[in-house]
Amino acid sequence: MKGLIIVGSAKVGSHTAALAQYLKGQFEEHELNVDIFDLAEQPIHQLDVSGASEPTESYKNNLKELQTKAREADFFVLGSPNYHGSYSGILKNALDHLTMDDFKMKPVGLVGNSGGIVSAEPLSHLRLIVRTLLGIAVPTQIATHDSDYGKLDDETYYLANEEFQLRARLFVDQIVSFAQNSPYEHLK
Ligand SMILES: Cc1cc2nc3c(=O)[nH]c(=O)nc-3n(C[C@H](O)[C@H](O)[C@H](O)COP(=O)(O)O)c2cc1C
């Protein structure tokens, strides 16, 4: 069983990526293999149904990798910064490149980070999208603020807030429980 965490920040080394890293560690405690696909590190081109644009090879390769990992994933975490009161366009574009076949009846956890007033609204918006993709958004979600993170000597962020560390463990337990018990397997 494996999972995929998609990070939708525009910034390399984002808070959302640090949260993803913490979650990956928690999934590993359950001996589950989880990949992080950070869209800032591996950008993909904008969806272009008519084919008018010419994406670079590296963008195309990144997209192929994302689509392969999404198809193989048994569960997801979608992570996004708060951009203008919602989740990022970068993440939406990534989801537009994926389909119901990638998400159908798979558990999906939602996490986000705000730099201003902390808000769970981006996650509420994502919850609607997950439903449309036929995924199962688990009830527990994580909405952090920049101040919940510390910085290591090499300037990388880490999740420092102990309450959120605890919540992250509960969040992961919930996703793992859904994924391992597959309550919706017969509906696939
Ligand atoms: C385009 C854009 C829009 C933003 N809009 C909001 C906002 O509406 N509310 C907010 O609290 N922060 C907003 N921010 C600030 C980000 O949430 C903040 O930079 C946060 O640290 C991003 O998290 P990250 O490091 O995971 O990318 C915005 C940032 C950008 C770049």
pLDDT (tens digit per residue) in 18-63: 999 999 999 999 999 999 999 999 999 999 999 999 999 999 999 9
Which residue is associated with the tokens 């008018």? 52
Please state, in angstroms and rounded to a whole number, the distance separating the CA atoms of residues 75 and 125: 19
Going from the Cα of 45 to the center of ligand 1, the distance in angstroms, rounded, reads 21
Write down the pLDDT at residue 187: 83
The model's pTM? 0.98
- Cβ of 85 closer than 6 Å to ligand 1, yes or no, is yes
- Cβ of 82 closer than 6 Å to ligand 1, yes or no, is yes
Please compute the mean of the pLDDT values over residues 2-16 and round it to a whole number.
98
Task: Look at residue 93 and tell me whether its pLDDT is greater than 90.
Answer: yes
